[in-house]
Structure 1
């Protein structure tokens, strides 16, 4: 395992981190985690050098933290940096009880007294304003002073300008951004990565493979690019190595959901040193990213923040089909559309846009629902 050392962080951090947002489940319900498989995966990763584990209050319908508590028993808690997050969209709800109540709930779920890496979750323009209104930064600093958290940061989904504003607003110990070879100029992007580095702030990376979109159902034109390389690597290896190639990156989170993915990522990251790719390899990877950008119309990562939909539409599933249709125009995408239950199909959208306010990618979800209906069931369009 490769480790990265940054000033202000007391020990080296593994370049591969375990993201506990996409763990295996026994059914379609996110809360129905397959505990035996998930615990085995997490412990196997730690046994092989991973020392950063990331969760959040809302992951797996608020069941991720409890699963991690079980996985980190038997001495595993002491082996890792444990990361968790404060969701401002929950903190503003009176029934949640405010910042202190949510934080105590997290400590209880995790069965720990201290959270190593604590972030304001999904900072964008509205959520940052909520944080300011609730004095959340000062609250974080107080928790750090009390020894309840060790390092304070934020995860981010908004414009480069907003990233700079938030990064400059407090003495952050670290931050977390979305970055992959397709999203080089999206949200904070490489520009934000470099700006954080200029301030001496280490960066954790999420969505390095864009929720798996960069390694599944690879378009033929992208596969041709991979096949043209003198050095043959798998799509996950190209993607993860591109992110890890940046010396500014402290840790790359991967939402692994099979033991095979854990094994593959461990293999890839064991020698994913900074600046280890050649200039030609970097150019090849970024050419593949450009090809994806030319094809995919809605950059959904499957984070599920848009749910629940008031009309019960399975928004991430619909957008995934939407992108597959525009990339492939094939029978598989059509079949997946018709497999949707009628009460979950996009024609049920009433255009309330509640989902759009929660989407980290700022996707025009209501327009996507209408376009999908136009493609497959135009007779269902609401006038």
Structure 2
């Protein structure tokens, strides 16, 4: 797809990016209280929402990923229609963070086609990434992403897997100042490069970080999650199901009888409620191509969430299986 490059805009980004980052947006605001009250009945009459510390804006605690599930043949109308149905249901259920990346093949194109056909995106929080090296290539790729989504402004732009983050972060700050994006962040996955991510979180101004965390992969509890809360950085969790690995390990076992105490009807909700009940987590982004699975996932963002005692009980049950 040809990309319309605005040369003057690119030069403006470079000029702004060349200034001190401290002058771009000042210190991040102190974190608002995104924690869940530590009580046995952390219930909500509606959808659980989380505060973005740098702005005070709220987002739903359950979003939607697009890795693999939206990598389809865009000329296959049946496959495309199924993905558009997922997007429509997601928005009808209240929307939230929809996460993608140029690395995900045609996922962004599929999303853009879907949003155009649906004709609305008022409940969408658009999140994508830059996944290349160099200022100009980064600008070209980010503009291509915006055009693929069909949006005037993207909500969140992230540096994918920290690739050339030293180059891209100043550009993202410039884009944020110019109101071409609303938030910026960095990502990792598979539990990789936590030390480098920690360094970035301690030294750079970030609105969001994204990394892996689930009921089995809990390394992030040691440093990253407490640090995000301390620094006032919103946290998006990827691989909440280990790309389906958790179901392969545990779905042959019954849910514990006490799962109904936290409104869990299935393993997906058990896994997701464990994640979003962590006080530093803002949003989990499970991916799916099945509407019923989407509904199950979104339902995890309602009802009672586990408190610290219940979280330990959940871990003990998993460890005993």
- Name the CA shift for 1:104/1:230 in 2 (closer, same or farther; >3 Å): closer
Residue aligning to 1:2: 48
- Name the CA shift for 1:260/1:22 in 2 (closer, same or farther; >3 Å): farther
Q: Summarize deviations over 1:277-326 as a string: whole Å, max 9, x none.
A: 1445322322355468xxxxxxxxxxxxxxxxxxxxxxxxxxxxxxxxxx
Following superposition, the deviation at residue 173 of structure 1 comes to 0.9
Q: 1:119 aligns with which of 152, 158, 162?
A: 158
Q: In structure 2, how many angstroms separate the alpha carbons of the residues matched to 1:14 and 1:174?
A: 15
**Aligned partner of residue 110 in structure 2, secondary structure:** helix
Task: Give ranges in structure 2 of 5+ residues lacking alignment.
Answer: 1-46
Contact 2:83 2:289 (8 Å CA) reproduced: yes
Q: In structure 1, how many angstroms separate the alpha carbons of the residues matched to 2:308 and 2:81?
A: 43
Contact 1:174 1:202 (8 Å CA) reproduced: yes
Q: In structure 1, how many angstroms separate the alpha carbons of the residues matched to 2:143 and 2:313?
A: 47
Q: In structure 2, how many angstroms separate the alpha carbons of the residues matched to 1:111 and 1:24?
A: 17
Q: 1:50 aligns with which of 86, 95, 100?
A: 95
- Name the CA shift for 1:136/1:230 in 2 (closer, same or farther; >3 Å): closer
- Name the CA shift for 1:101/1:24 in 2 (closer, same or farther; >3 Å): closer
Q: In structure 1, how many angstroms separate the alpha carbons of the residues matched to 2:243 and 2:84?
A: 21
- Name the CA shift for 1:279/1:14 in 2 (closer, same or farther; >3 Å): closer
- Name the CA shift for 1:170/1:31 in 2 (closer, same or farther; >3 Å): farther
Q: In structure 1, how many angstroms separate the alpha carbons of the residues matched to 2:174 and 2:70?
A: 36
Q: In structure 2, how many angstroms separate the alpha carbons of the residues matched to 1:231 and 1:102?
A: 45
Matches within 5 A, 1:1-383: 1-9=47-55, 11-23=57-69, 34-59=79-104, 61=105, 63-73=106-116, 74-87=118-131, 90-91=132-133, 98-123=137-162, 127=163, 130-132=164-166, 135-157=167-189, 158-185=192-219, 188-218=220-250, 223=253, 226-227=255-256, 229-231=257-259, 233=264, 234-271=266-303, 276-287=305-316, 290=319
Residue aligning to 1:341: none
Following superposition, the deviation at residue 55 of structure 1 comes to 0.9
Of structures 1 and 2, the one scoring higher in RCO (CA 8 A, sep 6+) is: 2
Q: In structure 2, how many angstroms separate the alpha carbons of the residues matched to 1:32 and 1:175?
A: 34
Q: In structure 2, how many angstroms separate the alpha carbons of the residues matched to 1:238 and 1:147?
A: 38
Q: In structure 1, how many angstroms separate the alpha carbons of the residues matched to 2:60 and 2:251?
A: 32
Contact 2:213 2:275 (8 Å CA) reproduced: yes
Q: In structure 1, how many angstroms separate the alpha carbons of the residues matched to 2:144 and 2:227?
A: 34
Contact 2:160 2:187 (8 Å CA) reproduced: yes
The total of aligned residue pairs comes to 267
Following superposition, the deviation at residue 116 of structure 1 comes to 0.6
**Aligned partner of residue 293 in structure 2, secondary structure:** helix
Q: In structure 2, how many angstroms separate the alpha carbons of the residues matched to 1:46 and 1:242?
A: 24
Runs of 4+ aligned residues of structure 1 deviating over 6 Å after TM superposition are 29-33
Q: What's the Cα RMSD here? A: 2.6
100-109 or 65-74, larger mean C-alpha shift: 65-74
Q: In structure 1, how many angstroms separate the alpha carbons of the residues matched to 2:157 and 2:221?
A: 22
Q: TM-score, normalised by structure 2?
A: 0.75
Following superposition, the deviation at residue 258 of structure 1 comes to 0.3
**Aligned partner of residue 118 in structure 1, secondary structure:** strand
Following superposition, the deviation at residue 32 of structure 1 comes to 6.2
Q: TM-score, normalised by structure 1?
A: 0.63
Contact 1:122 1:156 (8 Å CA) reproduced: yes
